[in-house]
Amino acid sequence: MVNKNSRIVIALGGNALQADPKDTTAKAQIQTAKDTAKPIVDLIQDGHEVIIAHGNGPQVGQIVATYETATAANKDLPIMPFPECGAMSQGYIGYHLQQAIREEMVQRELKKEVGTVVTQVVVDEKDPGFQNPTKPVGSFFNEEEAKNLEKEMGFVMKEDSGRGYRRVVASPEPVDVVEAPMVRTLVDNGHVVITVGGGGVPVLDRGNGVLEGVPAVIDKDFASEKVAEILDADMLIILTAVEKVAINFGTPEEKELSEITIGEAKKYMEEGHFAPGSMLPKVKAALKFVESKPGRKTLITSLEKAKDAIEGKTGTTIVN
């Protein structure tokens, strides 16, 4: 359970933006955003300061694929750089979320404003992720097309499960959040802020105020943890598709976890209980936040159970 008037960073999972993975229309997303807004505004109504982060995997993939298709049809049309695609996705996802949250707050007569900060996140060009890009983005291509893209565009292309070749980019860890002071000012003045969307636009700090966008994807859970640290949040809430974290998941020995310590979480990770592509980064981010300062907690639960979980009724809490 968290104290009243706490500062909370909420990391929204993909299901909070697209309820039906097959329906990727803007109309479907805005409706899902309206459903997502309700449990978020519950926390705002309870007096908490709320900062919202979110993923952007399907959305940025759509944007990249759209430009790739257009360029394939018209060779004179340049492919949009990946950092710009990430910024576009932050803008339109933020637009949907802030519309939905504002509407819900107005209906409850909460006099607050909500806005999106298109956020840049500093990464280290020596990060091991740049040496071995693994994050697939955009369209599928045949082998000949993939070789041409590698030669002409400098892309790294890899075969994807027998479905063709896709571009892959690095997934470095966040070092700093450029717009964090602005986000802090907004939160300190009572506003609801959407930030580090999709993990933020990855940038390299070239010095003298020069930031250079790089084609990469920052895990949104790690970016959420970083902004929670910087803003001195009391709690990080990672919302996903399940109500509780479990060990031996999907087996007859499956066991849901209500509260675990840092030591227990590390033991479960070493034993391989958490899948690398789903729960593992969430648990890693949770641990990093809890270890960053005494008294901090991370809660992992589903969107629907967020209010109950914050009241200590469900969810998985990781404590120091």
CA dist 112 and 120 (Å) reads 25
Give yes or no: 282 in active site.
yes
| Both structure tokens of 303 | 């969107």
From the list 138, 220, 111, 231, the residue with the least C-alpha distance to 173 is 220
| Both structure tokens of 240 | 């996903």
Give yes or no: 15 in active site.
yes
From the list 191, 79, 65, 201, the residue with the least C-alpha distance to 136 is 65
Q: Tokens 């075969």 — which residue?
A: 159
Give yes or no: 297 in active site.
no
CA dist 55 and 218 (Å) reads 10
From the list 87, 66, 67, the residue with the least C-alpha distance to 79 is 67
- Which member of 282, 284, 297, 305 is catalytic? 282
Give yes or no: 220 in active site.
yes
From the list 175, 244, 197, the residue with the least C-alpha distance to 10 is 197
- Percentage helix, strand, coil for the chain under 3-state DSSP, each rounded to 5: 40, 25, 35
- Which member of 15, 55, 129, 199 is catalytic? 15
- Which member of 14, 115, 164, 213 is catalytic? 14
- Residue 103, helix vs strand vs coil: helix
Contacts of 272 (CB under 8 A, 6+ apart): none
Contacts of 166 (CB under 8 A, 6+ apart): 136, 137, 138, 139, 140, 141, 157, 158, 160
CA dist 230 and 289 (Å) reads 10
Give yes or no: 320 in active site.
no
- Which member of 57, 94, 220, 305 is catalytic? 220
CA dist 16 and 34 (Å) reads 10
- Which member of 112, 135, 244, 266 is catalytic? 135
Positions annotated as catalytic residues are 14-15, 135, 220, 282
